Amino acid sequence: MAGVSYMRKKSSFFQKIGALGINQKGLSLVEMMVVVTIMSLVGVGVSSLLTNMISIQKKVEKKDSILQFKNALEANIKDNTSWAFSVYHATNAATLNCLRDDVGGCVDLTTFNNFNVFNRAGAIIFQGASATGGFTYAGISCNTFDAAAGNDACPLRYNLSWTVRCPGGVNPCNKPIVHVQGLLVNNPQNKSDTSNNIDVGAYTLDFNRGDLMRYEPLEVRHIQYDGSAPGACNVGGLATRALGNLNYDVGGNISGTTATTFTLIAGTYFCTVTAQVYHQPTGFKIQLNGGGGNIHQIANGFTAPYTSQTVSGTIGLQLNADTAFTVEQYCPAGTPTDAPAANFQLGIPAPDYAIGNTFTRVSCVRSL
């Protein structure tokens, strides 16, 4: 009976299916068309998705290659060895010539456009001096950039420029700070390829060369060979120390000296001042005085009665104009009463006078 009941239910089910017009043996033509349409739509969606994914992947790869090229360009401009190859190469005579050591320097705030960039091996990595110099989306240098029609084989270019930055009051100047800018241009021939759409502003170059290239040492001093002492303090006030012997001046940055002064031309310096002090048990002070309130404290301390010590200190100077300096010492203590030390506050002579005795020394390095 159970079997008969099942057969009746099955017969009833197929009767209903038949009433709906559906073939019990398979799909009707209408159903087939519906299925094909659905599958076509799915296929189109998948194909579109794959196309978009491929386009996104290509764009990511291009962005990565452009970033690598940008970083390499910046690194080689900042590197001293690479930059030297760029500065002295004949193809950059029009744009980097004033940076060379054998010319009169660069005029402040002048801007120069487009130059070739070389690496540490002296090989050119970007032909910026050529209007057709560029690079590919794969980050490879090329020389067929076309600013008018575009070129898919060489679509990218950096328009490079650099501006002279001299210290205040110095114009022209040697070895200025080099402020570099680079604007990326993207000009493929096929403008319809969306994967070629690049946000060029994200790859702008804008930086200063990372070092101050000038290194010019100089030194002035007071040295005696006759065994005499340099002088006594102005008790309770300032005494100007003798300082008139020019020892060396590699860059020609000292414009003049007197018995107690030296004049530095405008620029940036780091100076170490060294002085010998005798018998100042209540304290002393050494300072570098550039006049007009331009006073820099160098050292302070004390020395026990009838004893000597050498003191020193370092100061940075940024001069906008030529400046004359003196080295001064403040002495609160009186002159020692022992006869040979009556004139020793500014230094005590050494026994061996054949090599001389340096009482005061100013050593500087010009860095800009």
Question: Cα 76 to the chain's mean position, in Å?
Answer: 12
Exposure string for 301-326, b = 16+ CB within 10 A, e = fewer: eebeeeebeebebeeebebeeebbbb
Q: N- to C-terminal Cα distance for the chain?
A: 111
Ranking 118-122, 190-194, 220-224 by mean pLDDT, the lowest is 190-194
Task: Tell me the pTM.
Answer: 0.49
User: Predicted confidence band at 6 (pLDDT cuts at 50, 70, 90)?
Assistant: very low
Using CA atoms, how far apart are residues 164 and 177, in angstroms rounded to an integer?
Answer: 6
User: Predicted confidence band at 145 (pLDDT cuts at 50, 70, 90)?
Assistant: very high
Peptide bond into 230 cis (omega under 30): no
In the predicted structure, residue 214 carries a pLDDT above the cut 70: no
Per the model's pLDDT, the better-predicted residue between 166 and 327 turns out to be 327
* Structure confidence at residue 282 (pLDDT): 85
* Structure confidence at residue 339 (pLDDT): 41
